[in-house]
Structure 1
Amino acid sequence: MLNHLEEDASLLNKMLKGEESAFQEIYLKYRKPLFIYGLSIVKNEDISIDLVHNAFVDLWQNRLHSIKDAKVKGYLYQIIKSRALNYIRDQQLKARNASHYYIEQEELPDDKLDRLQLKKELQSAISAIPSSASRKILEMRFFEEMSYKEISLAQSISVNTVGAHINRAIKTLRYQFKKKPLIN
């Protein structure tokens, strides 16, 4: 009777010769223990299943290069450990990057006040546009984010007329902001 090391060595030799049945025996022998080992590291069943799957893919693909003198069990456990730790590292890095992103995106109280003041001044400038049609079309374009075509259908005017109204309104705003800039 062969001990497990001799059995693994025999299966490895058969697998090196391309016998898929030997690979299947190794798979059936180690998949559950490898799954449990991976699960103990990553704490996620789906990820552990992926780790085991990838370990066996790696075993098959590298059978002629990496594991000639290696012990199959140790080789597989090392793959699981390495990839599990890489997964954890990647998740921590993603979480860290996400937290930096959200911290950078948070508004400070002064920013909120500045935005409110800017919004008030912009609304005041828009309300000072002499043509109510140009004012309405400008609001539809930039605040309601409607396309020129959508505005033309809503107002029953041509797309070119929409463009003319928007250009006229923007010129008026530029003139107002030259007189009194929004940002002090």
Structure 2
Amino acid sequence: MLKEGNHDYFLWKRIKAGNGQAFQELYDRYADILFSFGMVYSRDRELVKDCIHDLIFDLYKYRKNLAENDNIRNYLFKSLKRKVLASAKKNLRLVYSENLTQETGNELRETDADENEDQQDQLSRINRLIGQLPEKQREILNLKFQLEMPYHEISGIMDISVESVRTSVYRSIKTIREQLEGKDMILFFVLMKEYSQLN
């Protein structure tokens, strides 16, 4: 069985050769994760979808000029990030927006009223704390917990060392943990894990 890198290498070769099936395989394999990734940088679902389609089209259009590549996922993430940010023409925003708070609140309302009110207070507090983090830390936090990316992939996307990524995640969690009680911290990790299911 081929390793991931080898599979990417041969798939990329077929893409460069203009193989239509290779482009379909690329789309089927990466479309969903690219959409989740794009939503880190814009809350506009249609904009993200358009950027993904534009990215695939550009790969086909410029296929003869593509460099050798054995890590397609990393290449696609970096390319999509540039496209979404250019199209959105706005600053990076934390994915935990008012929409997330409202959607999560709808689910919580199915529980006991008192518990719901308590969790809503916790959620609002967590959102405020995350929103106070530096922009770069928020982005890394989302890539790590929302998309469950390994440190080396985040490193490639952010163009910083793996150690810098680890340090950023540690500092973000430390900053939030210092201001939260134990049960609030548990809710924080649950929300980070479940966000992808809301999109």
With the shorter chain as reference, the TM-score category is 0.3 to 0.5
Structure with higher Rg: it is 1
TM-score, scaled relative to structure 2: 0.42
